Structure 1
Amino acid sequence: MGSNLSSSFADPNIFSLVGSLCLQPSPPPPRTKPGLGDLPESCVALVLECLNPSEICRLAKLNRAFRGASWADFVWESKLPVNYEDLIRRVFGDGLEDKLCKREVYTRLCRANTFDGGTKKAWLDKRTGGICLCIASKGLAITGIDDRRYWNHIPTEESRYSENNAGIDLNFHCFACSFNSVAYLQQIWWFEVNGQFEFPFPSGTYSLFFRLQLGRATKRFGRRICNTEHVHGWDIKPVQFQLWTSDGQYASSQCCLDDPGKWNLCHAGDFVVDGTNSSTKLTFSMTQIDCTHTKGGLCLDSVLVYPIHVK
């Protein structure tokens, strides 16, 4: 028995077998194919720069690389108007652009931002990058507005504009914003509404509209009802709309108001901003001053300025 044991230890084949078991390297792990997560953030950011904001926000959900790249300043600076710093100073005041990254600046501008004592709202249209502006009836100069025999500011839920604008937090959403009141005309002989403001519009062509309704809308048992009792005088002579710019542009239009019970946008005219001036001064009016008859039953909500290509 001892001889058998010693012979087994002396057998060289035994040592070669043990050595081969100890020295044989473990097989390498299988190679995995590279994925989107392996792309450098700088390369991903160059791709995102070519996309629109909604696509950027969707792709930011893919992985860490895309999420990090979606915060690159140059990606969002390409989506901002050229004069976005002037816009921020006009709407928010000085210093805000230095505290926010470009994505946050874009987010802020896409919201309906109230300024000038709550009489104006401005926002960035996410589809076109154009600036839109809305001026409340309380921000307009209305002849006779202080005499309650003629005009009243009445509360309403229908003072609103609705746009597919963005709050950029990886998702877009719709919102409606409201001034909560409209100017209601009971009756008057001399109808005149004027407005004036200065704003750093980016280069482009813009349209100005008055948002009007014949009749006063209320709710009864949850249903909308429009009282047209005081609507009169608007079909006799047309209303004239006019606008002037600080660089000498002029536009005008006329129309007879009809279609009571519905909100309508009445087009006053268009103007062009060429970018040579830091801001554009705009003056506009709506008049029906033929004193041979009275006019009444009109709701004036706001004046809106849109880039001409925004529907």
Structure 2
Amino acid sequence: MGSVFSFLPTRKTIPTTSITQMGIGDLPEGCVAAVLSHLDPPDICRLATLNRAFYGASSADFVWESKLPVNYELLIDRVFDNPPLGLCMRDIYSLLCRKNDIDDGTKKVWLDKVTGKTCLSISSDGLSMTGIGDRRYWNRISTDESRFGKIAYLQQTWWLEVDGEVDFPFPPGTYSLFFRLQLGYSSKRFGRKICNDQHVHGWDIKPVQFKLSTSAGQEAISHVFFGETGKWIHHHVGDFVIDGSSEKTKIRFSMTQIDCTHTKGGLCIDSVAIYPKEIEERLKH
């Protein structure tokens, strides 16, 4: 049995003095970078402040390329009119994590800083709404509660129909689509948020229908009664899967309540959001 372990060094051959003098900063940058590549971006950034070795390792291209979507080059071409050249992978990741405007500012695209997954938001200006040009029914209202700076406010209508579409190179994965809505119009008085619900009516009689479809043939339909006022809610329309078989996927979506037996009103429409399924739980907080 002793001969089996004869290749192991004896206690006398271990350079104990050298080991006790080594610190975490003495680790080779390549080894540190290999460890960092298995961590989430926020953890990489925190560890980069430990010492020079971790800082250098945190800049390695292969560390950040592993955090970028597999089709990040297509994302860059779609997001930027003049794609940046000569950037390291860390800078590309940082650039894509910003909320970048596309399509004349009606949409924003960014990477979730924690997961590196692609997120997209479409403003109310990027949606088609029946009667939006008639101020008897709709108004555009400026507000700091929207990342686009304004919302569409429905005072009253018989026929509600909101449609939109987006053609985008989503990376492979499962995505969820939401309408961000609120019953009642919010304002501030003496620094406190208050909700004006004088126009809110008609949403408890018949449900609103949400629908989405993709160019790959996927569909989802849901029905919701609106009730709570004064709170922005992400109403889940459905999920879709991108398998990576095409460069772009067209997503069509809608919100309708076209039962003309009654009017409905007092609805704020901020945006439509498309998020990776992994971060859906955060929208509830």
| Corresponding letter in the other structure for 2:105 | G
The answer on 1:126 being equivalent to 2:113 is yes
1:236 is aligned to 205
| Corresponding letter in the other structure for 1:153 | R
The answer on 1:220 being equivalent to 2:208 is no
User: Which 10-residue stretch deviates more, 79-88 or 40-49?
Assistant: 40-49
Whole-angstrom CA distance in 1 between matches of 2:188 and 2:57: 49
User: Which 10-residue stretch deviates more, 135-144 or 115-124?
Assistant: 115-124
Whole-angstrom CA distance in 1 between matches of 2:257 and 2:156: 12
Whole-angstrom CA distance in 2 between matches of 1:186 and 1:255: 20
Which one of the candidate residues 232, 237, 240 is aligned to 1:263?
232
**Are the equivalent residues in 1 in contact too, given 2:59–2:90 (CA < 8 A)?**
yes
Which one of the candidate residues 107, 111, 116 is aligned to 2:98?
111
Whole-angstrom CA distance in 1 between matches of 2:93 and 2:178: 26
2:86 is aligned to 99
TM-superposed CA distance for 1:146, in Å, is: 0.8
Unpaired stretches in structure 1, ≥5 consecutive residues: 1-29, 160-177
| Corresponding letter in the other structure for 2:140 | H
The answer on 1:73 being equivalent to 2:61 is yes
Whole-angstrom CA distance in 2 between matches of 1:274 and 1:93: 26
TM-superposed CA distance for 1:128, in Å, is: 2.3
**Are the equivalent residues in 2 in contact too, given 1:205–1:270 (CA < 8 A)?**
yes
Whole-angstrom CA distance in 1 between matches of 2:251 and 2:131: 23
Whole-angstrom CA distance in 2 between matches of 1:99 and 1:144: 48
| Corresponding letter in the other structure for 1:218 | S
The answer on 1:38 being equivalent to 2:26 is yes
Match runs of 1:1-311 below 5 Å: 33-96=21-84, 98-159=85-146, 178-310=147-279, 311=281
**Are the equivalent residues in 2 in contact too, given 1:88–1:94 (CA < 8 A)?**
no
TM-superposed CA distance for 1:274, in Å, is: 0.5
1:251-284 deviations in Å (ceiling 9; x for gaps):
1000111111111111111111111111110000
Match of 2:131, SS state, is coil
Whole-angstrom CA distance in 2 between matches of 1:132 and 1:302: 13
**Are the equivalent residues in 2 in contact too, given 1:214–1:297 (CA < 8 A)?**
yes
**Are the equivalent residues in 1 in contact too, given 2:211–2:220 (CA < 8 A)?**
yes
Whole-angstrom CA distance in 2 between matches of 1:236 and 1:207: 27
2:12 is aligned to none
Percent identity (aligned): 65
Unpaired stretches in structure 2, ≥5 consecutive residues: 1-16
**Are the equivalent residues in 2 in contact too, given 1:188–1:296 (CA < 8 A)?**
yes
Match of 1:107, SS state, is helix
Whole-angstrom CA distance in 2 between matches of 1:101 and 1:42: 17
Whole-angstrom CA distance in 2 between matches of 1:63 and 1:259: 51
Change (3 A) 1:77 1:191: same
Report runs of 4+ in structure 1 exceeding 3 Å deviation.
none
Whole-angstrom CA distance in 2 between matches of 1:263 and 1:59: 36
Change (3 A) 1:301 1:267: same
> If the length of structure 1 is used for normalisation, what is the TM-score?
0.81
Whole-angstrom CA distance in 1 between matches of 2:229 and 2:53: 55
**Are the equivalent residues in 1 in contact too, given 2:215–2:251 (CA < 8 A)?**
yes
Match of 1:309, SS state, is helix
> If the length of structure 2 is used for normalisation, what is the TM-score?
0.88
Whole-angstrom CA distance in 2 between matches of 1:106 and 1:45: 16
TM-superposed CA distance for 1:180, in Å, is: 0.9
**Higher Rg:** 1
Whole-angstrom CA distance in 1 between matches of 2:82 and 2:243: 25
TM-superposed CA distance for 1:61, in Å, is: 1.4
Match of 1:65, SS state, is helix
TM-superposed CA distance for 1:94, in Å, is: 4.7
